[in-house]
Chain A
Amino acid sequence: MTDWTLAEAAKAVSTRCITSRELVEACLDLVSAWQPVSNAFAAVDADGARFAADQVDRAVAAGKPLGRLAGVPLAHKDMYFRPGRRSAMGSRAAPPATGAPSTVLERLDAESAIELGTLNMAEFALGPTGHNTFLGDCCNPWNADHVSGGSSSGSGAAVAARTVFGSFGSDSGGSIRLPASATGVLGLKPTNGRVSCAGMMPLSSSIDVPGICARTARDVALLLGAVAGHDPRDAGTSRLPLPDYLRALESGVKGLRIGIPDNFFLDGVTSDVGRALQASLDVLASLGAVRVPVRIPAPGPLCELSRAIVYSEVAALHATWLRDHFQDYSPQVRVRAATGFAIPAPAYLQALQLRPVLLERFVRDVYARCDVLHLPTLEIPVPTRVETDVGGGEGMWAKIARMVRCTAPFNYLGLPALSVPCGFTDNGLPTSFQLVGRPFAEATLLGVAHAFESATDWHRRAPSPRA
């Protein structure tokens, strides 16, 4: 039953084919098997999950109406605040979280989803690999010598290992798409303003979005539908009406124009990643999609423009803690958090002011020619933990920079982006393609992914704890 999709599990509970308690116990058994291998969980709340599952089962037995996710075990990056629970945020230095409870968690609670525990993450979400000095690294369930991707490292690993049916992380530079790609599951970065950030640990409030990891496009659609929409507690959320994400899955790709960048984004792709990307395009073409080359306007500075904002806002946020508790930060994270102290304020403001200009130009130039962009999520095979760790040698920084080269530009532009598993690289680790759409085009992205899944089985591949 842990191989079911989220949609299948939810239906099984609601139709009483299985109890939520049985589902929770099956997931907890898998967590026990996987935790020594992947270290995806920061904390497991078995008693809390059992209690919640029993409540759902009583409600089902009584014929009471329940939410769309009733009884399904999920777990989320340890940065979503819940009253009475300390969110460690992957850190030893984190003070007790205060402020508003997470809207995402509240909306999931309203759908009667179960929370199995909290998930490992990069310290303060500052890192794309999944290393964590304090919690121990999250390891890739396909091969523990390799990174899980980050910073939502536990999200990808837990969903891929079938220990939970879905997970919320965050994405400020690739932090949901990279772990999704590295572990062979789907990862959605929504448009900025589509999902509330209220009650979520801020990294860079101008850039942050909650992100979703799940095993199928339908599962992502279910989770997105449960949490998306305006939130009075987050003034940055849009009042644009929500589409029916589930209905949009059936739209197909016949006549859809798939844009293939002819500059920048394919320049650094390795041959094995390239083969998988090409094969995925062939599948989409066989389903009726049309490939069109697209020139990306001025892509070069986009990654660093994003960093100009992120680093400045991170430094401002962490200034007091760093000043008083720098020794409680790991050395790498200390440097990342402090980089913004050397960025002049006008440069930060200019990066912000350029955003709508560059966004308008990007959308005008790109989406005049295509409906979605198709490009790599990660242009290289998933690297090892050793080669991307402190002491990883000369190539370490370059390798880490390459990890976000295809993801961070879309954080700057605020666009929706979905990572979809599409094969394996020569080192046996998963790889993926990334779809990028116009603002608020999540339904289109999910429709393409759903069509791709109908013709392939990459999304059904699962690692084994005995591997």
Chain B
Amino acid sequence: MTEIDADAALRLAALQGQSWIDEAVAGRIAAGADAAVAAVTEALANEPAGLAACSVGSFLATLEALAGVER
């Protein structure tokens, strides 16, 4: 799998107007972003049905539906 590397982070940041980011900072940003994206990929791999049935707006409703009866 292709990693997010410092060069990619530098280009993406520049596209978004963040010209202050240098190579050293880009390297650290890349490491953090790469780990996050890898986790998403890993979690998605465990969902053979995909995400078509889910919507972002259902999280509070899901929490409420899963609330139990307090002791």
Contact = CB atoms under 8 A, between A and B. Distances in A.
Nearest to B47: A357
Interface in A311-363: 311, 319, 322-323, 326-327, 334-336, 338-344, 347, 349-360, 363
B6 to A, nearest CB: 9
Interface in B5-49: 8-9, 12-13, 16-21, 25, 28-30, 32-40, 42-44, 46-47
A338 B21 contact: yes
Across the A-B interface, the 10 shortest Cβ-Cβ residue pairs = A304-B39, A342-B33, A301-B39, A308-B36, A356-B62, A339-B32, A439-B63, A440-B67, A342-B9, A326-B20
A336 B55 CA distance: 28
A350 B36 CA distance: 11
B1 interface: no
Contacts of A323: 17-20
Contacts of B63: 191-193, 238, 359, 414, 439-440
Given A243-B70, A349-B56, A441-B70, A341 B36 contact: no
Contacts of B43: 298, 301, 305, 350-351, 354, 358
Given A353-B55, A357-B54, A341 B40 contact: no
B33 to A, nearest CB: 4
Interface string B45-71: 011000100111011101110111011
Contacts of A236: 60
A248 interface: yes
A298 B45 CA distance: 11
Contact of A354 (B9, B29, B40, B67): B40
Interface of A: 191-193, 206, 236, 238, 240, 243, 248, 251, 256, 298, 300-305, 307-308, 311, 319, 322-323, 326-327, 334-336, 338-344, 347, 349-360, 363, 367, 371, 414, 438-441, 443-444, 447
B36 A343 contact: yes
Contacts of B8: 342
Interface of B: 4, 8-9, 12-13, 16-21, 25, 28-30, 32-40, 42-44, 46-47, 51, 54-56, 58-60, 62-64, 66-68, 70-71
Contact of A256 (B13, B29, B33, B71): B71
Contacts of A347: 36-37, 40
Contact of B36 (A311, A360, A438): A311
A354 B35 contact: no
Contacts of A334: 25
Nearest to A447: B71
A191 B70 CA distance: 14
Contacts of B59: 192, 206, 352, 355-356, 359, 414
A418 to B, nearest CB: 14
B44 to A, nearest CB: 6
B60 A335 contact: no
A193 B70 CA distance: 17
Nearest to A351: B40
A347 B62 CA distance: 21
A248 B70 contact: yes
A341 B66 contact: no
A122 B10 CA distance: 26
Nearest to B51: A353
B11 to A, nearest CB: 9
A450 to B, nearest CB: 12
Given A311-B36, A342-B4, A350-B40, A438 B60 contact: no
Contacts of B62: 355-356, 359-360
